[in-house]
């Protein structure tokens, strides 16, 4: 199965590219297990016009959705838990590519997300497109000015702060050392009701807690099925589903294949069959 190159990677000598940007588009769900855990070598960014991505950045879950700009400082370890239907722009830069490095979003040393609404998001997308064209023609002056404008706009945009309970929910949900729980199980561990957890998570992420449990179960099941070490029944138990027949129906509804069909397909792609 083909390895996915993370958005912050670029072939060749990085020193020749103080700023890099590319258009990103995935028309189908992509398996997060194909994206290797990586320590980001320099500042990187992601702006989404469509779709969503849930990443783990230095041990903390960060969700970026349509209309949002994510900035990740250099030296942070990033892994991707889930992403789907991404349309937008990704890239990276060295501080030498910036006109002004005093912005607090740069000096904070923490991942930053800003939300751009409607016309603001459209304008940022246009700037991203022009930055891509400027990189192709080697116009470093335009790149410096345009990205400085983006950073300036980020100062005045909505700062996304996840609720502590939502952060804890994601941490538990994607902790592969534990068997996946039900929404009521996570709610009990958080000391709140299932309905409040669903409402809180939906307000923060546009999906219910149940949606995220199903996303995590499918992704984790895919990873275990590709490894090929566990039986279908054991995979079902590992993701928190006691009934293997229900697991088969659930998995087929999400992927269009039974667990056995998915395993055979994955094995063929990596040459194990």
Q: What is the pLDDT of residues 120-133, one digit of tens each?
A: 999 999 999 999 99
The arrangement of secondary structure in 14-159, i.e. its CATH architecture, is: Sandwich (2.60)
CATH number for the domain running over 164-269:
1.10.10.60
Q: How confident is the model at residue 15 (pLDDT cuts 50, 70, 90)?
A: low
What are 205-223's pLDDT values in tens digits?
Answer: 989 999 999 999 998 898 8
Q: Out of 37-41, 79-83, 94-98, 211-215, which region has the weakest mean confidence (pLDDT)?
A: 37-41
Going from N- to C-terminal start, the domains of the chain cover 14-159, 164-269
Q: Is the separation of the CB atoms in 216 and 172 below 8 Å?
A: no
Q: What is the pLDDT of residue 247?
A: 92
Do 14-159 and 164-269 agree at the fold level? no
| 167-186: burial string, b at 16+ Cβ within 10 Å, e else | bebbebbbeeeeebeebeeb
Distance CA 270, CA 100 (A): 47
pTM to 2 decimal places: 0.80
Q: How confident is the model at residue 11 (pLDDT cuts 50, 70, 90)?
A: very low
**pLDDT value at position 273?**
46
pLDDT digits (tens, 9 = 90+) for 154-191: 987 777 788 999 999 999 998 888 878 899 999 999 99
| Site of tokens 């892994």 | 79
Q: How far apart are CA 140 and CA 146, in angstroms?
A: 10
Inter-residue contact 85 to 44 (CB < 8 Å): no
Q: What is the pLDDT of residue 2?
A: 36
């Amino acid at each position: 199965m083909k390895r996915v190159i993370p958005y912050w990677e670029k072939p060749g000598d990085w020193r020749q590219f103080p700023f890099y940007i590319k258009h990103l588009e995935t028309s189908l769900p992509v398996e997060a297990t194909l994206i290797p855990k990586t320590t980001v070598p320099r500042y990187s960014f992601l702006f989404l016009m469509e779709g969503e991505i849930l990443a783990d950045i230095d041990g903390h879950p960060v969700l970026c959705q349509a209309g949002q700009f994510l900035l990740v400082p250099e030296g942070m370890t990033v892994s991707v838990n889930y992403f789907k239907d991404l349309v937008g722009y990704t890239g990276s830069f060295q501080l030498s590519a910036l006109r002004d490095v005093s912005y607090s979003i740069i000096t904070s040393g923490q991942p930053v997300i800003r939300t751009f609404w409607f016309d603001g998001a459209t304008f940022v997308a246009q700037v991203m497109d022009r930055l891509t064209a400027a990189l192709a023609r080697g116009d470093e002056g335009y790149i410096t000015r345009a990205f400085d404008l983006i950073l300036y706009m980020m100062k005045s945009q909505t700062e996304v702060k996840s609720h502590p309970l939502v952060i804890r929910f994601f941490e538990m949900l994607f902790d592969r050392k534990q068997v996946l729980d039900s929404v009521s199980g996570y709610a009990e561990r958080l000391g709140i009701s299932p309905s409040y957890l669903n409402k809180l998570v939906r307000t923060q992420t546009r999906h219910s807690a149940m949606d995220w449990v199903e996303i995590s179960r499918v992704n984790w099941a895919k990873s275990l099925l590709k490894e090929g070490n566990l039986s279908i029944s054991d995979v079902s138990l590992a993701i928190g589903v006691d009934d293997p027949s229900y697991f088969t129906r659930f998995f087929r509804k999400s992927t269009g294949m039974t667990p056995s069909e998915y395993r055979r397909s994955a094995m063929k792609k990596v040459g194990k069959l």
